[in-house]
A and B are shown apart, each in its own frame.
Chain A
Amino acid sequence: MTEPNGIPRDEIILEAKGIEKIFPGVHALNKVDFTLKRGEIHSLMGENGAGKSTLIKCLTGVYGTDGGVIKFNGREIHPESPLHAMSIGISSVYQEVNLCPNISVAENIFAGRQPMKGPFVDWKTLEERAGKALERFDVNVDVRRSLDSYPIAIQQMVAIARALDISAQVLILDEPTSSLDKQEVAKLFDIVRKLRGEGMGIIFITHFLDQVYQISDRITVLRNGELVGTYKTGELPKIGLVTKMVGKDFDDLANVSRVRNESPHDVMIALEEVSAYQSVENVSLELRRGEVLGFAGLLGSGRTEVANLMFGIEHNNSGVIKLKGSAVRLASPKDAILRRIAFCPEDRKRDGVIGELSVRENIILAFQARLGIFRFKSLRQQYELADKYIKLLGIATPDADKKVSDLSGGNQQKVILARWLATEPEVMLLDEPTRGIDVGAKAEIMKLTLDLCRDGMAIAFISSELDEIVRISNRVVVMRDRAKIGEIDEDEGLDQENILKAIAGGMAV
């Protein structure tokens, strides 16, 4: 079969057969087969710890394999490093943006392979080519400015541009959309489709089921390091996919629904016309005990800033923040923690996990910070606390001494939640708690949120996923352009459509 543009469709570019990978104590990949055809988008699905990342790392030479064969265009290859894999023709963009924030966009795209003029870097060509590479994505930025002066979405594009600049035949995208908004995702998909048209084989990993169905041609499902199967997207309904991923009939998410809010509850935190410099303007809201208050709005709408204000990270310069009815000044996170407020930040890698430290140390950290330097919990008490939450939240780790950076994203998020639950908070601020984690873990975290709510905690739930917000919130605050533009109660038609309308500006409330 040959497409009109002359690219043979069924030709296999990348073939992995019987891949084995053994880590101490874990059989991470057990005889996994995987094939990628020319000109196809192939989604790799599975829960956290299913082996997706391990497989990718074996294909790109991050890990060596303990068995099996990798063939590229029919020839056996042994990628030794990502750079080596790249030179063969396999490029990858990893889950978290791994670029250098302090150097320019252009340098990031060409780092390690700058065009040279004699012994010197040819800056002019470098910048021109970087500009062209980004134009492909309709991204028009000053490539001479440092990377960290742009939002994460642009940084993601830069990462892809970096991977694509080389004449790659296989492109691996590991969770490329987790920090992008809708339009940016659409733009990314356009690019990906264009690349497919050019005959590139694309491996796509995501936690967003909708996106899988939007874009992929085939789906390979892994579970616990084993291949479940490879399917044509059209022949595998969503529910079937989820069932194959978790290995049981999946109705977890369907069971997640808000706790009915019957009696009026005490107000825990009230913001009264709060403004902060270069942050939010004139926000008033109430967060009550035993309810989930959702925050909806686009990236940069001021959702995170509101949470920051309630946690003492940002400070208001007008208006009043009241805690249980009396005005408070939250000077620092520690102030907030002492007042039993907990905050699960949006950027887990930057503000959440302390990677080098153990699971135990990560869990006890906030609790210990509340106690201070001198009331140090004994090791025995630390282990008790850590083990309690490892069990309670089902954190998948061999023991409490494991380095937290060795855990999967979902488990890291659970460790952060455990850190805050250990402080026994009355108010829990969750900023994108389900970002970058798989369906199963998402459902678990949402269920946990509801359990906490039932126990009387006041919960702020910030998420870009309207579906999640609608599912569990009792009320939703809608934010736009750094201001609150409305509030929708569960009795007043709280659904995705109304929230979208509100964001778009047709607010009736």
Chain B
Amino acid sequence: MNGLIRKLTSSKLFSALMALLVILIFNVFLNRGFLSITVVDGHLFGQLIDILNRSVPVMILATGMTLVIATGGTDLSCGALLALAGALSISLIRGSSTIVNEYSAIPFPLVITITLAVTTLCGLWNGFLVARLGIQPIVATLIFMTAGRGIAQLITGARNLTTNYAPYSVIGQGWLMMLPVPIFIAAAVLLVVWYFTRRTAFGLFVEAVGVNASAARYSGINSSMILMIVYSISGLCAGVAGLIYASGIMCADANNAGLNYELDAILATVLGGTSMMGGRFYLGGSVIGALIIMALTKSIYAFDVAPESALVVKAFVVVVVVLIQSPFFKNWRDTVKNRRAAVGGGEVR
């Protein structure tokens, strides 16, 4: 039992989970009705559901980001690719229509396929720059971070394109088994990526490349292929998140959709225990990280913190969590633990 507890507390997920728990408990006491969930028209409503639902785009971005960070890189383009996906999908639905349309110009599955294919290709391009041309990930993905929104604006003609096409709204606003559809999409993405990384050798190869790319290559791993796949997955995740985001507001906002989400995704990944140095990655941790960010945002608003100081509060909490996870604090904790163990040993003798 003791061993189990030690295993739990030493797990990378533990501190992230604790942070989330603290934020939730804080809310339970200070934010009335935080835990209450009501059924309206067969749909579940409540703040918890809301946190879960709203964290979905960042959660999906963080899933892709986790793999990228595990290889020792970062993907700054995913927020912009999210905006691109929204712009592309809505303009495909509208076709040449100049009014807000009720029908799609091309078959809906085709809309989704094209959108996801385009963002995946953008991801592949990132991967190509990093793996084949040896450009540093931050610089390589910076290209699409700026160009992605530019292309999105070109597609929408710099307007906020809207649509009333009902099937499209299901992605971001639909309900399934009493819960919002995005939650299921996020779960599906996570499950697929988890399966692909942990039930095949892909996760092992990603970690090997992330820790020591040269040794991975000497062991027969095609590092550049691994990198290109990883960046493509991140692009695909951005596409999925973009569909959900745009569908949620039925509008393609090339300028503001997913603005700074790439940073939230990086933060979620780091909060979840994956090191920016690359190597071991924790998909579950990144999910918790995304939840922490959203729970924090929600509670700040619930406490009527003025919007202008909300970011400061958020930053403060993030600093605390990151400090707790830092090697410095880890060493400190270990020292305390060892000292206690040493004292215990002395008594035995």
User: Which residues of A come within 8 Å of B, CB atoms?
Assistant: 22, 66, 311, 313, 332-334, 336-337, 343, 345, 350-357, 361, 364-366, 368-377, 419
Complex Cα spacing A354 to B215, Å: 7
Task: Indicate if the CB atoms of A351 and B220 lie closer than 8 Å.
Answer: no
| Cα–Cα, bound, A375→B200 (Å) | 7
Q: Which of B199, B204, B212, B279 contacts A353 (CB 8 A)?
A: B212
Q: Are B208 and A370 in contact (CB under 8 A)?
A: no
Neighbour of A369 across the interface among B205, B211, B345, CB < 8 A:
B205
Specify which chain B residues have a CB less than 8 angstroms from the CB of A361 in the assembled complex. 204, 207-208
B201-A343 in contact (CB<8A) = no
Chain A positions within 8 Å of B200 at CB level:
373-374, 376
Would A351 and B201 count as touching, CB distance under 8 A? no
Which of A311, A313, A351, A368 contacts B204 (CB under 8 A)? A368
Known: A354-B211, A356-B280, A365-B204. Contact between A313 and B199, CB under 8 A? no
Known interface pairs A66-B342, A368-B204, A374-B200; A334-B218 also in contact (CB < 8 Å): no
Inter-chain pairs besides A351-B214, A352-B215, A354-B215, 4 sampled, C-beta below 8 Å: A311-B218, A365-B219, A365-B220, A375-B201
Residues in A neighbouring B342, C-beta threshold 8 A:
66
Rounded to whole angstroms, the CA-CA distance of A370 and B201 in the bound complex is 11
Q: How many A-B residue pairs have CB under 8 A?
A: 81
A369 — which chain B residues lie within 8 A by C-beta?
A: 201, 205, 219-221
- Contact: B201 with A350, CB < 8 Å? no
B218 near A354: Cβ-Cβ < 8 Å:
no
Q: Tell me the bound Cα distance from A70 to B145 in angstroms.
A: 57
Instruction: Decide if A345 touches B218 in the complex (CB within 8 Å).
Output: yes
The answer, yes or no, to whether B165 is at the interface (CB within 8 Å) is no
Q: Do residues B202 and A355 form an inter-chain contact, with CB atoms below 8 A?
A: no
| Chain B positions within 8 Å of A374 at CB level | 200-201
Known pairs A373-B200, A373-B202; A350 contacts B207 (CB<8 A): no
Q: Are B208 and A355 in touch, CB under 8 angstroms? A: no
The interface residues of chain B lying within 8 Å CB-to-CB of A371 are 201
Q: Is there contact, CB below 8 Å, between A333 and B217?
A: yes
- With A356-B207, A361-B204, A376-B201 as given contacts, are A370 and B220 in contact (CB-CB < 8 Å)? yes
From residue B333, how far is it (CB to closest CB) to chain A in Å?
15
What CA separation (Å) do A357 and B221 show in the bound complex? 15
Contact with A along B177-207 (1 / 0, CB 8 A): 0000000000000000000000111101101
What's the minimum C-beta distance from B61 to chain A, rounded to whole angstroms? 24
Q: Is there contact, CB below 8 Å, between B215 and A351?
A: yes
Bound Cα distance A129, B328 (Å): 34
A356/B221 contact (C-beta < 8 A), A368-B201, A376-B199 known: no
The CA-CA distance from A366 to B222 in the complex, in Å, is 11
Q: Which residue of B lies closest to A420 (CB)?
A: B219
**Interchain CA distance A466-B208 in the complex, whole Å:** 34
The residue in chain B whose Cβ has the minimal distance to the Cβ of A419 is B219
Collect the chain A residues with CB atoms within 8 Å of residue B221's CB: 334, 365, 369
| 7 intermolecular pairs with C-beta atoms under 8 Å apart | A22-B345, A334-B222, A351-B214, A365-B208, A369-B201, A369-B205, A372-B201
What's the Cα separation between A361 and B221 when bound, in Å?
A: 13
Asked whether B205 lies within 8 Å of A333 as measured between CB atoms, the reply is: no
Listed residue (A343, A365, A376, A377) with the most chain B CB atoms within 10 angstroms of its CB: A365
Q: For B214, give the chain A residue with the smallest CB separation.
A: A351
User: Is there contact, CB below 8 Å, between A333 and B201?
Assistant: no
In the A-B complex, the 8 residue pairs with the smallest Cβ-Cβ separation, listed nearest first, are A369-B220, A337-B220, A334-B220, A356-B211, A366-B219, A356-B279, A376-B201, A365-B219
Query: In the complex, what distance in Å separates the CA atom of A22 from the CA atom of B214?
Result: 34
Closest to B196 in A: A373
B273-304, CB < 8 A from A: 279-280
B216 at interface (Cβ–Cβ under 8 A)? Answer: yes
A236 to B: closest C-beta gap in Å: 35
- Most chain-A CB neighbours within 10 Å: which of B211, B214, B215, B222? B215
Report B-chain residues with C-beta under 8 Å of the C-beta of A364: 204
The answer to whether residues A373 and B215 also contact, given A334-B222, A337-B220, A356-B280 and a CB cut-off of 8 A, is: no
Q: Which residue of A lies closest to B222 (CB)?
A: A334
Closest to A347 in B: B214
Which B-chain residue is minimally distant from A368 (CB atoms)? Answer: B201
B205 vs chain A, min Cβ distance (A): 7
Counting chain B CB atoms within 10 Å of each CB, which of A66, A353, A357, A373 scores highest? Answer: A373
Give Cα A372–Cα B226 distance, bound, in whole angstroms: 11
How distant is the Cα of A372 from the Cα of B215 in the complex, in angstroms? Answer: 17
Q: Is there contact, CB below 8 Å, between A373 and B201?
A: yes
Complex: how many Å from CA A369 to CA B199?
Answer: 15
Q: Find chain B residues with CB under 8 A from A354 CB.
A: 207-208, 211-212, 215-216, 219
